[in-house]
Amino acid sequence: MPSFEIFTSPDYRQTSGWMKFNQPLYRYGQKITGISLKFEKGEVIEFDAQEGKDLLTEIFEISGTKSLGEFSLTDGRHSRITKAMGETLYDENM
């Protein structure tokens, strides 16, 4: 990987497939784990979670939250962050 992060804004008209997360998402003081998202034409059409699915459902009821905006890969070797902190801004750099 040439730098700390590579990111792109995928073409929503062509982005389809599954994305699964091995790190938790923290929102509103709650934890969501085992998230899997199915995209079709850049929009979430199906989702699941091992824990916190009710909250994930609430999140996806908010307008615009089902649309894919950015995808990135980060080289964790360059980060001082070594464990999840519960804040996406930092956790994305693990």
Split at pLDDT 50, 70, 90, the class of 66 is very high
Average pLDDT over residues 1-22: 83
Q: Is the pLDDT higher at 71 or at 59?
A: 59
Per-residue pLDDT tens over the stretch 22-63: 889 999 899 999 999 999 998 999 999 999 999 999 999 999
Q: Is the pLDDT higher at 52 or at 79?
A: 52
Nearest Cα residue to 26 out of 52, 54, 44? 52
How far is it, in rounded angstroms, from Cα 14 to Cα 16? 6
In this structure, is the dihedral angle defined by the CA atoms of residues 55, 57, 59 and 61, taken in order, positive or negative? negative
pLDDT at 3 over 70: no
pTM over 0.85: no
Residue with tokens 């982005």: 15
Q: List the structure tokens of 85.
A: 């902190």
